[in-house]
């Protein structure tokens, strides 16, 4: 059974740039209202765990959050790795894409897409 949780208790936040980019992507890709943004982790990467970020349907074990008007799905087990994380969007000459500012990461890889806790 999954639950919906108020934004005040959401484990992650979005920068203004990240929220704008997510709205833009959802619109450009014509993502259905049945889908939400999946935020999570998976084993792998040079530092041990990779971040998961993409539009997906709700699965068993997911909690649902509304963060800055964006429907977010996260498996409860992933929250201990992601609690307090901010997702940002970089659009500069040296880097472009989503970045993760995770206070739980003890180390990260050079590209910033994997971490260890």
Predicted pLDDT at 1: 47
| Domain region containing 61 | 11-99
Cα 109 versus chain centre, distance: 17
CATH of the domain at 57: 2.60.300.12
pLDDT tens, N- to C-terminus, the chain (117 residues): 445 555 557 899 999 999 999 999 999 999 999 999 999 998 876 657 888 999 999 999 999 999 999 999 999 999 988 999 999 999 877 778 998 998 887 766 655 555 566
Predicted pLDDT at 117: 63
Predicted pLDDT at 116: 61
78 part of a folded domain: yes
Quick check: helix, strand or coil at residue 17? helix
3 part of a folded domain: no
90 part of a folded domain: yes
Predicted pLDDT at 111: 57
56 part of a folded domain: yes
Q: How many domains does the chain have?
A: 1
Task: Say whether pTM exceeds 0.85.
Answer: no
42 part of a folded domain: yes
110 part of a folded domain: no
2 part of a folded domain: no
Tokens of 78: 């992933």
108 part of a folded domain: no
**Could you give the dihedral angle defined by the CA atoms of residues 92, 96, 102 and 103, in that order, rounded to the nearest 10 degrees?**
-20
């Amino acid at each position: 059974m999954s639950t919906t949780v108020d934004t005040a208790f959401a484990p992650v936040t979005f920068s203004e740039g990240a929220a704008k980019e997510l709205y833009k992507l959802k619109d450009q890709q014509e993502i259905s209202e049945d889908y939400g943004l999946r935020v999570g982790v998976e084993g792998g990467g040079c530092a041990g765990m990779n971040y998961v970020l993409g539009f997906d349907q709700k699965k068993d074990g997911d909690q649902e959050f509304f963060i800055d008007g964006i429907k977010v799905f996260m498996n409860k087990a992933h929250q201990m790795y992601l609690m307090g994380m901010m997702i940002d969007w970089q659009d500069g000459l040296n880097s472009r894409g989503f970045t993760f500012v995770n206070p739980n990461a003890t180390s990260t890889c050079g590209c910033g897409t994997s971490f260890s806790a």
